[in-house]
Amino acid sequence: MTTGDFPSAFPGANWMDEAEQNAVLDVMKNRAPFRFYGPNEPKYALALEATARKFYGRKFALAVNSGTGALQSAMIALGIGPGDEVIVPAFFWVASVGTIVHANAIPVLCEINESFTLDPTDLERKITSRTRLIIAIHMCGAPCDMEAIMAVADARGVDVMEDCAQCNGGSFKGKKVGTFGRVGMFSLQLNKNATSGEGGLLITDDEKLYWKMNAAHDLGVPWRGAEPDSQPADYLWGTGRRMSELCAAVANVQVEKLPTIVEHMRASNRRLQEAVKDSPGVTLRKLNDPAGDTGPFLVVMLKDADAALTAADKMKAAGLTDLWRMADYGLHCYFNVPQLVNKTPLSPAGNPWSLPQNAESVCDYNKGACPQTDDLLDRSVVISVPSKLTGEQEQFMIDKIRGALS
């Protein structure tokens, strides 16, 4: 047996059933695949937004085509541009950094701590007079320390966007992720806790920001019902990132299922943690709030890079499939992103790094720029925890992980 025979590590997809199928069929029968108008009245994107407002507990929700689309729409609405610095953790997904570059702003890397999310102490150090936004990314299923991050951000008057792509349904101290910062974003891509294959969500309590994001996500003009707005003062440049009714129909069901999906994954993850935590030379990732972890990943820290490489190799040899030594975890690690390390310009003009407005910003993205993060990524292993494991499958994982760590 290998974990390749298990339910896949695509959490939401494992829970798809007749509910999603019926919703898609309904869109097709109704011949209403476009969210704003059609031969018959579309309803699912509106329903998804209503579900999201209720589920997360924020006043406004906007469905978009992807997590990247959500990030970009928010960045435009927040007015991020040349001369601005945006702080991101050095352990991320490339999309979060890419949208900063697309805004012609400068990504500033912040160390992570043993939670594998933003280190609030380094965050404080990284804020300058040019810092306009902090992107708090709830990485690998678990929440950032939002109390500490908001305290730093509020004291310095800097906005926070929460990137909840990897932690949908998670919380920090009883409050859902996505509800701490000025805006929260989610991805509904296949790897995520709830999925419609593609899709994204933005949530906020700020009405003005909501309308700007609405404008930015599509035409540059906000949609009010089936008509674009007619107030030229609000116009900006849009990005054509509407969600289709087909995705919305699936996503609406999946968001309703999130508590069940997360509960199942978190419970498996806890049993795995319990079983491997006393393995020699192993420390588990620090969870800022264990009750708010959504559970799709188990992260173990070892004494050094050699130990992590050996453990990862042994786990693979034993039949575990979805795991990585974290420094080899592709475009999640700043030093593995060639376009960042090389400061690949957006256009032949060299922007954003060549812009005079950005001249004062420090931007070294080579390995070594964030030594605390480098050390953590070098000596840790991340293991996927599928969302629908049986007891027998969990035991298989436990035996193989313990075997590799002994």
Ligand X SMILES: Cc1ncc(COP(=O)(O)O)c(C=O)c1O
- Contact footprint for ligand X (CB under 6 A): 66-68, 93, 95-96, 137, 163, 165-166, 187, 189, 200
In whole angstroms, how close is the CB of 65 to ligand X at the nearest point? 8
Residue closest to 117 by CA, chosen among 188, 63, 157, 170: 170
Residue closest to 315 by CA, chosen among 201, 388, 401, 193: 401
Distance CA 300, CA 142 (A): 14
Q: Using CB atoms, what's the residue nearest to ligand X?
A: 67
In whole angstroms, how close is the CB of 173 to ligand X at the nearest point? 21
CB distance 199 to 65 below 8 Å: yes
In whole angstroms, how close is the CB of 112 to ligand X at the nearest point? 13
In whole angstroms, how close is the CB of 141 to ligand X at the nearest point? 10
CB distance 17 to 23 below 8 Å: no
In whole angstroms, how close is the CB of 42 to ligand X at the nearest point? 22
Distance CA 21, CA 29 (A): 12
Distance CA 56, CA 76 (A): 23
Residue closest to 12 by CA, chosen among 161, 179, 186, 178: 186
Residue closest to 340 by CA, chosen among 95, 74, 119: 95
CA atoms within 13 A on the CB side of 348: 0
Closest CB to ligand X among residues 32, 134: 134
Closest CB to ligand X among residues 93, 365: 93
In whole angstroms, how close is the CB of 135 to ligand X at the nearest point? 9
Residue closest to 225 by CA, chosen among 28, 26, 23, 35: 35
Distance CA 367, CA 355 (A): 24
Closest CB to ligand X among residues 164, 219: 164
* Amino acid type, 78: L
Task: Report residue 255 CA to chain centroid gap.
Answer: 15
Closest CB to ligand X among residues 88, 405: 88
In whole angstroms, how close is the CB of 239 to ligand X at the nearest point? 13
Closest CB to ligand X among residues 52, 137: 137
CB distance 84 to 256 below 8 Å: no
Closest CB to ligand X among residues 193, 361: 193
Closest CB to ligand X among residues 166, 279: 166
* Amino acid type, 365: Y
Distance CA 54, CA 64 (A): 18
For 186-231, give the DSSP string. Answer: EE-STTSSS--SS-EEEEES-HHHHHHHHHHHTTSS-EETTEE---
Phi, psi of 304, deg, nearest 5 = -155, 180
In whole angstroms, how close is the CB of 99 to ligand X at the nearest point? 9
Closest CB to ligand X among residues 56, 396: 56
Residue closest to 381 by CA, chosen among 335, 336, 316, 331: 316
Closest CB to ligand X among residues 70, 381: 70
Phi, psi of 85, deg, nearest 5 = -110, 140
399: its two tokens:
């035996």
In whole angstroms, how close is the CB of 282 to ligand X at the nearest point? 26
Closest CB to ligand X among residues 68, 214: 68
In whole angstroms, how close is the CB of 168 to ligand X at the nearest point? 10
